[in-house]
Amino acid sequence: MTGKGGVGKTTVAVALGLRAAAEGKRAIVCEVAAQENASRIFDHAEVGFHEVEMEENLWSISIDPDESIREYVLLQLKVRAMRDLLFRSRVFTYLAAATPGLKELVTIGKIWELTQLDRKVKSGRKYDLVIVDAPATGHGIGFLQTPRTFAAIARVGPIHSQGSAAEQPDHPTRTTPAPRSSPCPRRCR
């Protein structure tokens, strides 16, 4: 779900989730950039980087890019001592913060992971529908192009293969962009 800021993207995303849940589908609404608008709609405490059930068959998650980076590293590095060393490294923290597009890439990576039937996260549920409450259109277009950009830059290796996988939906017939807009408040020219 993308569109101009303030046009009701979150409201429409939650409405789509509620409709799917009413039809018996397991749906999750993903907010990016650690927003918490969906939790406010349900008058619920902040959900954070957790899959929280808001209503029967409807979950919500607020995807924090920093938590996404942490989860990605945890999934990639199997040796705990290596992970701990990396997370304590100020150089790693600096480089991660300085890498253009990294936060967007790991956010899309988390969204992609939520769509998988074979989840990498141990406690991950399987969803019939993943609804993304994406950034406003200007940032949203670049956001959605991030996997393609990283795959092209990397050319080989895990970043290339994961970027390529995230760019190509597993089920094109189940993947639909849904731009959102509102009528122009004054005469448009």
* Domain CATH code at residue 134: 3.40.50.300
Phi, psi angle pair for 2, to nearest 5° = -135, 165
Average pLDDT over the chain, rounded to an integer: 83
User: What would the mean pLDDT of 132-155 be, rounded to a whole number?
Assistant: 80
d(C-alpha 174, C-alpha 189), whole Å: 36
- Contact (Cβ atoms closer than 8 angstroms) between residue 131 and residue 1: yes
| Model confidence at 160: pLDDT above 60 | yes
* Count of beta carbons in the 10 Å neighbourhood of residue 16: 17
Q: Is residue 183 part of a domain?
A: no
Q: Give the pLDDT confidence score for residue 175 in this predicted structure.
A: 59
Range scoring the smallest mean pLDDT among 39-43, 95-99, 158-162: 158-162
| Model confidence at 171: pLDDT above 60 | no
- Do the strands 58-63 and 52-55 form a parallel or antiparallel pair, or are they unpaired? antiparallel
Q: Is residue 175 part of a domain?
A: no
pLDDT band, very low/low/confident/very high, at 98 (cuts 50, 70, 90): confident
Give me the domain span that covers residue 119: 2-170
| Model confidence at 189: pLDDT above 50 | no
Beta-ladder partners of 52: 60
